[in-house]
Structure 1
Amino acid sequence: MPGNGLIHKIRRFMNAEERLRTPSPFDHLRRQMNDVLGDGGILKEVIQSGGGPPVPHNASVLMNYSGFLEYSDEPFETTKNLKYPRMMKLGRDVTLAGLELGLLTMKKGEFSRFLFEPQYAYGDMGCPPYIPAAAVVLYEVQIVDFLDSGQVDDFIALSPVEQNEVPLSTLFEVVNTVRSFGNRCFSLSRYDNAKDRYKQAVMLLGNRETQSDAEKEGIKTALLPLFLNLSLTELRLYRPHKALKYSNKALEIDSANTKALYRCGQAYMELQEFESAQDCLISAQAKKPFDTDINSLLRKVALCYKDSLDKEKDLCAKMFRDTRKK
């Protein structure tokens, strides 16, 4: 046994000596990477190019990433096991200095590798037990999407009086960004988060003190898609009463809106108010007679309505028979 221990120590020593003589995996990577800052602290290799503008400061980024130590095949940190990676805010959710600086060089759809020296990663102390002291780390990052949320943050930080003094066009830009956040959450099936974003946008519009009829019409135009989004989100959350409320708000703005009529039909269907559902869907069908979704739901409602009436007739007949027996 002592001999085996000695052999093991000798092998470890020889492996260490061998590593000193041959380039390490990270050394090989360094040869094909670009120096981001010019000080060698952040090196980057683009594996797959993206498109559009780079990620701006204060953006919220949807990304997949994995962090590796040298000589390790398994990541010490990864989002690959998440079905829906969350949107991360630069300066708040992204806490690794090198990663944040690296993200600012990336574009939507881009996949890149980064090597971070300790001063841009976990420092001289590391992060025991996962990250050793003064460790160089490798991050593989893919940008799925990002939203420039800096303008939203600046607007929300204003007082109500200051918000009203901002040009209406700026308010619409802020609302569109908040709605885009909601749409992103919805696409990830995070319906509660989506609902909160849509309601935030509605609140920002509702707080605006409009002066002219043109401004009032602009606010209504901006509110319409938000009410439609809220209606659909509430349906996905199995809350048909609330879905109906937002559909009706949309119809108050545009009484002939087919999406709003269709959403009402869906909500009434869930509430088993088949006659009301049928009325809404027939109105929607009149606007879009060849819409497959409307026609399909209308057929379904008609069948359910007929089945409901048949059951009601059977129940009445049974009650009548029981009465006669008495």
Structure 2
Amino acid sequence: MTETEIVGGLRIGDLVEDGAFMELKLNPPPEDHVQEAECTEALQQYLKLECLDLDKPSYDGEEPFTAIAKDMTNLLQNGKIKKKIIREGYGPTADNLSTVKINYNAYVQFEAQPFDSTYARKSPFTFTVGQGEVIYGLDLAVQSMKINEKAQFLIDPELAYRDSGLNRIPPNSVVLFEVELCEVKETLKNRPEVNEREFKHVYPQCVALCAKGKDMVRLKDYQGAIKQYTTSANKLEEAILENYEEQLKCEELMVRLYTNLLVCCTHAEIPKRGCIFAQKIYEMAKNGTFKVSAKVYFNHAKCQRMLGAYKQAERNFQQAKALEPGNEEISKELAILKKAKEEYNKQQAKFAKALLK
């Protein structure tokens, strides 16, 4: 066996065969390499403190992975792969021989920094399921996932790196993978044909995209969230509805998506686009079974204020206040609006005076 020198993270695809180590040269092709300092800095963004033994009371003296496992279920009956879903996906699970694209962070116990991370490399990992291109435990884990799903897996050393060990991976280590299944390319030809626009197929995809957008909002990535919500809304707009029940479910999700888009546009300071989504909600409310929420009036008013449409903004703030009279944020925004109007009127008076000279 050759001895390996690791630079930054490891690549799982090269570690499958027992006892076969890879060697990372100092100057590989630029597209395949991240400088050691840059990689280390990137890995710091994905620290997972749960992997450390911090003697927290919640652990009750247990090792970190034992505590993490309590929130997981057995993927295999023997418990050698455990799973916890962080975000639900949609559609069927990845079949054997499918080509999949994943993002992941991989950890060992007592190390907060991942030993490998596609996020740090800014390059998703693509492989074919069931072909031995990754460790067996990860292969089985991905086969349990749906598109857009995000999940954590604890994998027994027997299904991971076994007793070999490898620099940052001690021998006989249980490993924790946090995986996001980005894409599945089907290779099986026997799957029955379906109309992808049917609501029953579109709806779970849209819900999953909505959940992904929500994750991005938490990270204040409003542009990324807008992309997810817009994709979801476009799919839903073209969905084929078969009955009244599907119509109600479609309407409920569409209103939620347009509301989320309005809120994100407000945060991202894209007021014109925000007003478009607000108008879509008002149009739906005319013939729909729902009432416009205070959130919609409030965020629409903020967009109008940004555009200098102060009269319309005040009207919508008052609509929001009527629905939520105790909301302090609305009162604060009304005060900001009043100040903006006063400043605008001063500027207009100054301009008019200058014209008369």
TM-score range, shorter chain: 0.5 to 0.7
1:252 and 2:293 correspond: no
Aligned to 1:66: 107
Percent identical pairs in the alignment equals 11
TM score, norm. by length of structure 1:
0.59
Any conservation in 2 of the 1:115–1:136 contact (CA below 8 Å)? Answer: no
1:237 and 2:268 correspond: yes
Compute the RMSD of aligned alpha carbons: 5.1
1:98 and 2:118 correspond: no
Q: Distance in 2 between the 1:225 and 1:275 partners?
A: 27
Q: How does 1:15-164 map to 2 (within 5 A)?
A: 46-51=66-71, 54-55=83-84, 58=94, 65-66=106-107, 77-78=115-116, 96-101=135-140, 116=157, 120-121=160-161, 136=171, 138=173, 140-141=175-176, 162-164=195-197
SS of residue in 2 equivalent to 1:208: coil
Q: Which of 212, 215, 221 does residue 184 from structure 1 map onto?
A: 215
CA 1:252–1:279: 2 relative to 1, 3 Å: same
Any conservation in 2 of the 1:265–1:281 contact (CA below 8 Å)? Answer: yes
Q: What's the CA shift for 1:316?
A: 1.5
Any conservation in 2 of the 1:45–1:114 contact (CA below 8 Å)? Answer: no
CA 1:280–1:160: 2 relative to 1, 3 Å: farther
Any conservation in 2 of the 1:97–1:121 contact (CA below 8 Å)? Answer: no
Aligned to 2:250: 219
Any conservation in 2 of the 1:198–1:230 contact (CA below 8 Å)? Answer: yes
Query: Deviations for 1:98-153, whole angstroms, at most 9, x for unmatched residues?
Result: 34546899xxxx99875646x844999x99xx889xx957465375xx88989x99
Q: Distance in 2 between the 1:138 and 1:147 partners?
A: 22
Letter of the structure 1 residue corresponding to residue 329 of structure 2: D
CA 1:163–1:111: 2 relative to 1, 3 Å: closer
TM score, norm. by length of structure 2:
0.54
Q: What's the CA shift for 1:268?
A: 1.2
CA 1:50–1:264: 2 relative to 1, 3 Å: farther
Q: What's the CA shift for 1:260?
A: 1.5
Letter of the structure 2 residue corresponding to residue 77 of structure 1: F
Deviates more, 1:227-236 or 1:212-221: 212-221
SS of residue in 1 equivalent to 2:195: helix
Any conservation in 1 of the 2:142–2:181 contact (CA below 8 Å)? Answer: no
Query: Deviations for 1:231-253, whole angstroms, at most 9, x for unmatched residues?
Result: 12223333111111112112222
Aligned to 2:28: none
Q: Which segments of structure 1 move beyond 6 Å, counting only runs of 4 or more? A: 59-63, 72-76, 85-92, 102-105, 110-113, 146-150, 158-161
Q: Distance in 2 between the 1:180 and 1:99 partners?
A: 24
SS of residue in 2 equivalent to 1:141: strand
SS of residue in 1 equivalent to 2:338: helix
Aligned to 1:203: 234
CA 1:153–1:275: 2 relative to 1, 3 Å: farther
Any conservation in 2 of the 1:111–1:140 contact (CA below 8 Å)? Answer: no
Q: Distance in 1 between the 2:260 and 2:125 partners?
A: 23
Query: Deviations for 1:252-300, whole angstroms, at most 9, x for unmatched residues?
Result: 2236512211111111122232222112111221222222222221221
Any conservation in 2 of the 1:179–1:198 contact (CA below 8 Å)? Answer: yes
Letter of the structure 1 residue corresponding to residue 107 of structure 2: S
Higher helix share: 1
Higher-RCO chain (CA-CA 8 Å, sequence separation at least 6): 2
SS of residue in 2 equivalent to 1:46: helix
Q: What's the CA shift for 1:228?
A: 0.8
CA 1:185–1:103: 2 relative to 1, 3 Å: same
Q: Distance in 2 between the 1:259 and 1:220 partners?
A: 17
CA 1:204–1:293: 2 relative to 1, 3 Å: same
Q: Distance in 2 between the 1:60 and 1:225 partners?
A: 29
